[in-house]
Each structure stands twice: as C-alpha cells, then as structure tokens.
A and B are shown apart, each in its own frame.
Chain A
C-alpha cells in the first residue's frame, strides 16, 4: 500500500507539469475574462450585505452595524413603503401585459413571413421589421412623442382630423400603459421572429409535402406542422420570459415614463434608481434589489421545473 502511494504521488506531479507546459497559454488567455467576472460580477455580491446592515457613508462594510429584526429591518420596511408596493405591482403588471401582447407577436409574424413566396420581398420586409430593435429607448420615446403628443402627434392629429376627440395616449394611466406595451411590441416583434424563423427552417419539408398530398390547406399545415415543429422553441422562450416577470430593464421604463403617469410607470428598477442612487437610501434599495433577484431566480427555476415535468426540454 505504502509503496503504491509513493509511486502515485510523483506520477501525478509529472502529469501536472506536462499538462501545464501544454496548456498554460489557455489559462493565460482566459485569465483576463475571469478577473473581469470576479471584479464586476462577484465583488458586488459582498455589497449585498448592505441590505442586512445600517449603511453608513464613512464606514467600511464590515464595521456597519447589523439592522434590527435579525437584519431583516429593510425587507420589512420595503413592504411597508407604499411606493415600493406600487413599483412591485407596476413591474408585475407591465411585464405580464408585455408577455401577453409581446410573446405571440413574433410567432405570428414568423408564421406570416413563412407564407411569403417572393424571396426578395420577404427579405426587405424582414430588414424593415428588424429596424426598431436597433433604436434606443430614448429614440423610441421620442418617436412615441411624435406619434402621440396631444398637439402635433401624427396619430393624435389623424384622430382629430377624422372628427374624434383626442386620446390622451401619454397623459392618462390606462392609455399610457397601452402605449408602453404597444411600443414594446413594435420594438421587438421583428427581432423576436428571427429565432422562430430558424426553428421553422429546421422543420422537415417532407412533412409539408405529405400534408399537401393529403389535401391539407395553408392553415391546416400551419396548425398541424409548423406550430408543433416550433413548440420546443416556444416553450423555452416562454420559460425565459416567465422567469423575467419580476425583472425588467431600467432604460425602457425610465425613458418612457412621464410625471403625469408615475402611478403606473414607476417600476422596481426606476424606484431603486430614484430612492437609492438619487435618495441615498442604500440599505432599503439593496434589500429591494435582492428581493427582486431572488424572486426572479425562483420564478425561472420553477418555470424550468414545470416545463420539464410536462415533458418539454428546459433551458438547462
């Protein structure tokens, strides 16, 4: 036994030497990205502790006193803050409406594109439909002003010219929500269709030929071949979207909001910016952010788990 181990140890050492001599360059190459990830993705994680502590400007993180209620003070406080409850409600509401209106749109558009038999025309339509994805939210906000401003907005003027009363697209809560969701669909339906078009391209064409022989029409083929063919893609994207139902970026709601509709436009991301970075309430907003991350992760894992239970492939 003893002899075996003494033989094994040097053998392993030699292996490592040969191995590193061969592979050190790969480690040197990946070192920079790993250092980046460590500094900018992992180091901020220790700042999460602020959610459980009393933030003091001139103190080191370790010296800050723990918050009361076993460190849960700021989580409790968040749920006693009406503005946060409102932001949470708005986040869920806007994301849910985005999902309902925005999820089917690219699928429908991909199905429509798939029916086009003029190749060049199809390509032109695609190029045009991808355009909104390349616009920033500031630009899309300005477009929505140009379209929906009560005076001089393209749509508003058309409505007025046809003898109807102007609709307060941007100034009234319900209409603003519709505009927000609508501009979101406008921005994403073309881009979102790329993935479905790729999935459709992967469907065996023999299925269509066989269906034609059996006398299936355009819509029958769409329903019985194309849609089942892209179902896995739909499920995976639906999981990712459901996982993001409490998340959401900052730039879109921040750009699209205006003071008249803050009641529905304030979401968690903009709340954290205003109360945290502008209002310097770091402990409260870190707690809010952590709550959002953890619940978001929970949603994603649950959605993935359900999809696997239903026999679909998950995202991992």
Chain B
C-alpha cells in the first residue's frame, strides 16, 4: 500500500490561525461523507467550536423534519412505489436533481395502477414523459392555491380566487379525490421557513387524514451525512453553538453559519470541503476579520487525515475558546 502523504501546511497554518482566534465556526460539508463529518465534529469538540452547514433546513427546531413532520412525509422510493398521483409543486425536479423524474416518477407503479403526474408552475417540468399535465400557475400564487386546495378538500368553497388559481385548484382537486396515494414534490430553494412551505405542509397533512399523502422535498440530500452525524452526536442537525457530545448547545435561530458570520460572532472558520454559496458569500463579506482554514474536498481519507492533523495540534487546555491558547 502506498503511504498516504498529506499537505502538512494545512494543519500548521490552520492551527496557528485557530490558536489565535476566540471563537471558531466549522462549516462546509456539502456532500461530505460520514467519516469526514465525524472527524470535523471531533475537531469542533476539541476547540469548542460552533458547527453548522449553513442550510436553513438543518438548523430549525426539528432539523429537516419540521416542515416535513407537520404532515406525513416519505422518501423518494416510497413515491416511486406507492403514489398514483404526483404533483410537482412549482418546481422542476430534473433541474434540482437531474435524473430524479427518471428514477422515481417515470417508473410504472407495481401492479396495473397507472400514475398521473401534474406539473404546477410557470413552466412544464423537464425530464418528464409527454403525458404530464401542466397546470400553469405563477409561483407568487402558490400559497393561495395550496390554501384553496385545502379548503376544497375540507368541503369549503374558496373565495376571491384569480382565474388561473381557480383552474389549477379545480383540476388538482379532482385528481386528488380520485387518487389512492398522493405525493407532492417540492423544492423550497432553501426557504424552509415561510408561508410557501407551510402552506404545503398544511395541505398535505389535511389530505393525509383521508388517504396516504406525503411531501418529498428535494435538495436536502447533499447534507445527508452531516445531518445524520450531527444528530446522533448533538441531538440536532445543525445550529450547534458549541460542539460537545456530552451537552452541546443547540441554538436554531442563533448559531447558524450565516448568522454567526453576519454578526461577527466568530473570528475563524474551518470550511470542510464545499460550502454553500450563501456561506461563501458570508465568508467573503467578513473576510477582513476572519481567519479561514480550508480542508479541500477530495478523497475521504485525505480530508479526514487533514482534519485529524489539525485537531491533534490542540491539547486539553489549549483550546482557542476564550482566547486561552
């Protein structure tokens, strides 16, 4: 076996940067494998750092589930195997996750049940078969449409709807009534909070009391490992103000990467692999007051070794927290 050689400059310069700091944020993690995340968590615990990947879906009170848990939620294979009605809700799944329609929507259902697919939005969804029904809707009306559908489902007649919204609702309501299992595919573009996600949550939840129904939000899988490792260590998927496996501090509204950077509450950042565009922007905006240590995306073993080497330079009592180093 060829001995592994790591670039020693990372841990030496990085350690110096961290040692001179008062509070560190460990971030990045897009697509990082579990081994890398575990090593990064170890580093964060060693230096008492905050840890967050900067994705709003991770740092809410119930991590990625709160919008999803408000209702019945399922993963994509369940959509493939079970949903005889798929609603693409103001999103183009092939654009968010190329190949998603081919893998999870277009395969036939088991048995002889046919699947119907409706694409609600400004444009028809890409990557789909020709028989997808496009229901034109400007996304600014998405909340109105979701609420109107909820009304129709509850036997109420929605009032004051614009014609395009009413048309969408009539078409979808009819399809939902005939369906055995309904899947809404959404992509909230990082906006996990707000009226639009919650309007779908409420709608799906209402439907699910009468027939299997769930939402499949796209885009969260890039942080799957980070979400899992952080949750088993700290009980939350992000927004960890201080990494400590015996009692981490979880501050969902405070300790997100973006907010810590924007408020100047950290003076050093360790970027593990790739960070989101939002985090990179926040780092750039705070560049004059930040020490930045980057662990380049690469082989798992390489990344892990670099992180471990960085952590090994700190001993007990030598942590930068509070400027004691």
Q: Do A and B share a complex?
A: no
A residues apposed to B, CB below 8 Å: none
B residues apposed to A, CB below 8 Å: none
